[in-house]
Structure 1
Amino acid sequence: MEFLVDYAEFLLRTVTLVIALIVVLAAIAALRSKGRSKGSGHLEVNKLNDFYKALRERLEHSLLDKAQLKARRKLEAKTAKAEKKAGESRSRVFVLDFDGDIKASATDNLRHEVTALLTLATAEDEVVLRLESGGGMVHGYGLAASQLARIRQAGVPLTVCVDKVAASGGYMMACIGNRILSAPFAILGSIGVVAQLPNVHRLLKKHDIDFEVLTAGEYKRTLTVFGENTEKGREKFQEDLEITHELFKDFVARYRPQLEMDEIATGEVWLGLAAQGKLLVDELKTSDEYLAERAREADLFQLHYAEKKSLPERFGLAASVALDRVLLNWWNRLNQQRFW
């Protein structure tokens, strides 16, 4: 019994610390919002073919003698001249990156990148998204997925590459791709919904501390951290989770109708090798391998929308990222996630 009391006190301290951090971040966010100038960002465009060419030429200079280098450059010039004379046009590949946190913060940049590429991209082009995300908030990843859906609606082929993880909200984004490529040991799936929170009501009651929750609307607040939770509130909370899960499954089924939804929408995750057998991915291949192949026959353009941030904004962003990492580590421990 003494152990439970000690644990409850430790939990209360932890919750208090988290609340304090949130208050600090809210203050920082307020500072960030002051004086923020709209439209201060800019789109960066890098031609990845030049990157691959620089790698190849550096290796050639190290391994080939002068005669071999001269012959190779002459052949390249001749080939380029022939292509130009024949009027051959190379297809274009627009490369995007999405590194997702709990809040899907990268959506702020993704939306501008998608808007930009859709002004030029056609059905003859391709968009490649290098995706890494373990999921997070429903509304954040719902918006991120909607940005990718714009590409599909415009009739531009979308290829999603997963090198490490695309789970939960991350897979919600990945499933929109016309093709999903995965590294052999990437983590995919987790088509499920989860929510959990501690409750310290009994501890407060033991120390004669009252905590009142006032609401207008029967289900304005179902479960709380400090108040007394009821069975009716739990049932409503569970009902909301089930509704969200059904919407999640319907969304995935719309873009991946080949999936056996009852079999894969259990919240489980699979490594790339097994995920291919479940039809969660179409091919086992890393993004490096795929882009290097496409660079031989197409022009690759990496797009990145960069927002110019002031010092308070950069400080606030760093603090937010740090908190995300703390929460993610805590989440992983609670769920006993395995690491290799």
Structure 2
Amino acid sequence: MLLAYLLFLAETATIVVASLLFLAWSPWGRKRGKGPSLQIIDLGQRLEERAVQLLRQRLPKKQAKALCKQRQKARQQRDKEDQQGCLYVIDFKGDLRASAVETLRQEIDVLLAARQEKDQVCVRLESGGGMVNTYGLAAAQLLRLREAGMKLTVLVDSVAASGGYMMAAVAEHIVASPFALVGSIGVIAQVPNFHRWLQEHNVDFEQFTAGKYKRTVTLFGENTDAGRNKLREELGEIHAQFRDLIGRYRPQLDVETVATGEAWLGERALELGLVDELATSDAWIQRAAETQKVLALQFSTRTGLAQRLGLKAQQVWDGIWTPPLA
């Protein structure tokens, strides 16, 4: 029964792959998404417009008109003086592969090209972590802002764990909501192994490599103690680099205490020094909008059907085989 089920799965996978190939080569599948477009939203102005709309409904017409005119004049004066520079807001919602890093790179390119004195950047970050190399790249992209002299703040509403905290740690200021999950400074790798099942069904698996440690563990071959130990050694090296990064940009932290792979809620994270302030991103940005111009930036790209299906297939595969994750 199990063998019949596996054959059914193989047939299904073949049909899915054939369908994806057909879509990829069909006219509508080959159609590429439009190039990225930059959207800019004045968050302070949008908030003011909604407040004015509410005031016009709540207050007598004459009183509302006078108050709205007064508020508009005050905001125009603040924007004109521009004493604190502009606060730019960008978003990063991380998946296992940190696939949003490409958009992040483009946003940072624009920010650096347009930066003025006293301009600042805040990143609304939500990520439970993922692949070490891509999250390391995302953290390096954020470092470009600091190296250019732009103050960087990271806002965490729900989670900045593992690779997500790797990104947050390079900021000068980290703000988390009281119940945000923060930390998880650790590394993990896991992989299923079907070697014994293949042996039971007289199926040989052959793998050829050059280099003693080209492949330490495998899905279908027989894993050895030497291979497992080598993988543990590699994970230890990655963890050590992770700890070094945290210690470099958060020197006030007791790395030995926090680099255990544990994650903490916002209030405890504040006590440990993982974050610097407790607030929601909405409250923090609204306060900032009272004294300076706040612009939200976002690059958007329309993707084709084949691209979206390919992404879904990749997500399924990521759930089966997990490389070293931070």
**Same fold by TM-score, threshold 0.5 exceeded?**
yes
Match of 2:81 among 88, 97, 109: 88
Question: What runs of 5+ residues in structure 1 fail to find an aligned partner?
Answer: 1-5, 332-340
Q: Assess, with a 3 A threshold, how the Cα gap between structure 1 residues 83 and 216 changes in structure 2: closer, same or farther.
A: closer
Determine helix, strand or coil for the equivalent of 1:149: helix
Is 1:50 matched with 2:42?
no
Q: Residue 65 of structure 1 corresponds to which residue in structure 2?
A: 60
Does the Cα contact within 8 Å between 2:98 and 2:135 map onto a contact in 1?
Answer: yes
Q: Residue 118 of structure 2 corresponds to which residue in structure 1?
A: 124
Determine helix, strand or coil for the equivalent of 1:119: helix
Q: Assess, with a 3 A threshold, how the Cα gap between structure 1 residues 322 and 102 changes in structure 2: closer, same or farther.
A: closer
Q: Residue 209 of structure 2 corresponds to which residue in structure 1?
A: 215
Q: Residue 40 of structure 1 corresponds to which residue in structure 2?
A: 35
Determine helix, strand or coil for the equivalent of 2:220: coil
Deviation per CA, 1:45-78, whole angstroms, max 9, x where unpaired? Answer: 1111121112211221221111211221342355
Percentage of identical aligned residues: 43
Is 1:234 matched with 2:228?
yes
Q: What is the alpha-carbon distance in structure 2 between the residues aligned to residue 101 and residue 45 of structure 1?
A: 24
Q: What is the alpha-carbon distance in structure 2 between the residues aligned to residue 30 and residue 309 of structure 1?
A: 12
Determine helix, strand or coil for the equivalent of 2:221: coil
Match of 1:173 among 160, 164, 167: 167
Query: 1:287-298, aligned counterparts within 5 Å?
Result: 287-298=281-292
Q: Residue 278 of structure 2 corresponds to which residue in structure 1?
A: 284
Match of 1:327 among 294, 301, 319: 319
- For 2:278, the aligned partner's letter is L
TM-score between the two structures when normalised by the length of structure 2? 0.87
Q: What is the alpha-carbon distance in structure 2 between the residues aligned to residue 102 and residue 297 of structure 1?
A: 37
Q: Assess, with a 3 A threshold, how the Cα gap between structure 1 residues 136 and 43 changes in structure 2: closer, same or farther.
A: same
State the aligned residue count. 319
Q: Assess, with a 3 A threshold, how the Cα gap between structure 1 residues 24 and 268 changes in structure 2: closer, same or farther.
A: farther
Q: Assess, with a 3 A threshold, how the Cα gap between structure 1 residues 278 and 82 changes in structure 2: closer, same or farther.
A: closer
- For 1:89, the aligned partner's letter is D
Match of 2:136 among 134, 137, 142: 142
> Which stretch shifts more, 308-317 or 223-232?
308-317
TM-score between the two structures when normalised by the length of structure 1? 0.83
Q: Residue 245 of structure 1 corresponds to which residue in structure 2?
A: 239
Q: What is the alpha-carbon distance in structure 2 between the residues aligned to residue 25 and residue 246 of structure 1?
A: 44
Q: Assess, with a 3 A threshold, how the Cα gap between structure 1 residues 320 and 188 changes in structure 2: closer, same or farther.
A: farther
The offset of 1:99, in angstroms, is: 0.5
The offset of 1:311, in angstroms, is: 3.7
Q: Assess, with a 3 A threshold, how the Cα gap between structure 1 residues 140 and 24 changes in structure 2: closer, same or farther.
A: farther
Q: What is the alpha-carbon distance in structure 1 between the residues aligned to residue 116 and residue 140 of structure 2?
A: 19
Is 1:309 matched with 2:281?
no
